[in-house]
Structure 1
Amino acid sequence: MGDFDTAKPLRKIAEAFKELEATINSQSQEVEVAPFSHACSLVSPLFGCLGIAFKFAEVDYVAKVLDIAEASKSIGTLQSLLEKDIEGNSVRKSGSHSRNLLRVKRGLVMVKVLFELILLTEGNSLKGPASKAYEQVFAPHHGWAIRKAVAAGMYALPTKAQLLNNLNEDESSASIQMQSYVDASAPVIMYVEKLFLTRGLGIDW
């Protein structure tokens, strides 16, 4: 039985992001790399649950989150993570922590938009929400080949019922947790974007 309680990925995600949101709203406003990377790692299985269409996103996202988790061993806050790359003139270098942070942030936005659309969409198909979320968040940064592969993969998406089943949720509990993530992730996403924008680094690369 005990195992069953722990197998609630949506709840874990919502709780972790609520904690990050609380940090951002607190006096310190300093988000530490370790809890941030942990919260992001909880999102990873979601991409896996969406099947082949989001395989590239899962592989890419998981690798970038691992890099940030690794960085947390020597870097305290997200702010100092960026500062270090700025000093080393490596912000935009492939594989830099800053670049990876921006990619991870994009994954968080993708899930936020997907959840918002699932909450608004009647019926059992995820094709509409998943296609729209992909178009909005990832497509502008992807080449033709990846976009084509994703479009083909959209036909193999699970149904909404299958997704909820994989996540051990029913419709009403899932709606609560999805809304909770949508609400809590918004300020976290904004915080990360602000780190880049206030330093004149932009977020569209």
Structure 2
Amino acid sequence: MAGSVTAEEQKFCLKEVLDTFKLCLTENKEVYLEHYVAGWRGLVKFLNSLGSIFGFISKDAVNKIQILVTYLNGENGSQYVTVQSMVKYELDNELVDITRRGSHPESGCRTLLRLHRALRWLELFLERLRTSSEDSKTSVMCAEAYNESLAKHHPWVIRKAAGMAFCVLPGRPAFFEVMNVSPPEQVVPMLGEAIPLISEVYQVTEGLYAQHNLLDLP
């Protein structure tokens, strides 16, 4: 019985991610770190459900999630309630390596920036999935989304590996099956609801990081 529960917990569900990102923003458009992390847990399930080809991104995301959870549960957890409070706290206390990797390689700001960049890639890819036709090549959609977002932050060897991984992606129907939406024809409308929420969280974070010159943390 326990095994089946674990399998179910590992299964991606688009609605869960949608519901989580709905909770991400406060009334003042601040980003709750706890819900951001929970949303990413769901996106990791999405990556993992497509097989090992996205392992290079999902493993890194899991590592980053764990670092942020440690901050949330730590003695200064109250400073990490929102991304905005985290940025203020870490900058005020010089806990961020601004120009080079130094004594704070796992600062909350740097850790979240890596997830932030990957979120843009997933947002762009999911939007292409939503608007494409049934026989559209997912490999092309994924590569285009990657080249517009994450590629510029990755060394050549990872870009090469990613390009090879995208070539063996399953077709669009397989992606829709992974979404775990019933009935299946609800996938496109649900993506239409989820993507703007993900996009808004991304844009709020992007604006905050730009304001504090944090978009290029080493």
TM-score class normalised by the smaller sequence: 0.7 to 0.9
After superposition, residues 64-75 of structure 1 pair within 5 angstroms as 64-73=64-73, 74=77, 75=80
Aligned to 2:87: 82
Q: CA deviation at 1:126?
A: 1.1
After superposition, residues 94-113 of structure 1 pair within 5 angstroms as 94-113=105-124
Provide runs of 4+ in structure 1 moved above 4 Å.
Answer: 5-8
- 2:181 is equivalent to residue 177 of structure 1: no
Check whether the contact 1:109–1:189 (CA below 8 A) recurs between aligned residues.
yes
Q: Which has the higher helix share?
A: 1
| Cα pair distance change 1:61/1:120, threshold 3 Å | same
Q: Distance in 2 between matches of 1:126 and 1:168?
A: 18
Q: CA deviation at 1:8?
A: 6.0
Q: Distance in 2 between matches of 1:184 and 1:82?
A: 22
Give the percent of matched residue pairs that are identical in Structure 1 and Structure 2.
21
Aligned to 2:101: none
| Cα pair distance change 1:139/1:204, threshold 3 Å | farther
| Cα pair distance change 1:156/1:44, threshold 3 Å | same
Aligned to 1:166: 178
Aligned to 1:127: 139
Could you tell me which of 181, 191, 202 is aligned with 1:189? 202
Structure 2 gaps, min length 5: 98-103
| Cα pair distance change 1:43/1:19, threshold 3 Å | same
Check whether the contact 1:10–1:167 (CA below 8 A) recurs between aligned residues.
yes
After superposition, the CA RMSD in angstroms is 2.4
Q: Distance in 1 between matches of 2:150 and 2:124?
A: 11
Q: Distance in 1 between matches of 2:216 and 2:18?
A: 25
Check whether the contact 2:139–2:169 (CA below 8 A) recurs between aligned residues.
yes
Check whether the contact 1:51–1:156 (CA below 8 A) recurs between aligned residues.
no
Aligned residue pairs: how many? 199
Q: TM-score, normalised on structure 2?
A: 0.80
After superposition, residues 8-27 of structure 1 pair within 5 angstroms as 9-21=13-25, 23=26, 26=27
Q: Distance in 2 between matches of 1:31 and 1:134?
A: 24
Q: Distance in 1 between matches of 2:189 and 2:64?
A: 28
Q: CA deviation at 1:145?
A: 0.7
